[in-house]
Amino acid sequence: MSERKETPLGIVAVLVFIVAMDILFFYSLSSSVLMQGDLSALLSFSQENLLVWFDVLFSLLSLGIIPYGFLRRKNSARYVAMVYLGYALLRSLLSIWMVGDRNIGFLLFVGFVVCELYLFTSSVENYFMNITTAIVPVEAEKGYTYGPYTLYTERVRLKNGRNQVIYFFSKHLPKSGTTTTLPQGYHVEVSNRSGLPYLKKDPDAFPIAS
């Protein structure tokens, strides 16, 4: 039986916000290049251009890693998103200080803070950490136990070439054999000599034909 966990709306909102910020960044960068009319100025070596190209690389990585990781519930993608939001938060503060656009800058700052804090919540951690429970296997049938002993079964090949199914009890995990339930028509007895349990056919279950 499989269990598919739905994506929380908060995760979707954070993902949409990050993608929107990346698209806005690339739009503003392309608009700036078109206004200057000279791409070579952006390709020249300077501290400002290094920061711009770092932003470009970081945005490209976030567009590739975060959406895929969020949909696949990769916890590493949550950490990448935390780093991305933390960096974007600092960049928004720097933009407010340098450009002085407090209205839009403050709104972006609040958005980054809210998304960052949301990724630290227990519900988000549970969403990412429980990926291994997306498929729930059918509960295996437990083996029959008699005191500290567990019943095992194994198919062996006899000297005459015939195959036969045998049953045996063991306190520890044997080298071969699998756990099994008590087979129909058998009951458990204990050896007086060794004290070990063993199976014995129930005569009532196997009537002798008259």
**Where are any strands of DSSP class E within 43-196?**
145-146, 149-157, 163-170, 178-179, 186-190
Q: What is the pTM of this model?
A: 0.50
What mean pLDDT is predicted for residues 175-187? 90
Residue 145, pLDDT above cutoff 70: yes
Residue 190 Rama label (left phi>0; alpha psi -120 to 50; beta):
beta
Amino acid 187: pLDDT: 92
Residue 178: CB atoms within 10 Å: 10
Domain parsing of the chain, residue ranges? 9-133, 145-204
Quick one: what percent of the chain has pLDDT higher than 90?
19
pLDDT computed for residue 190 by the predictor: 93
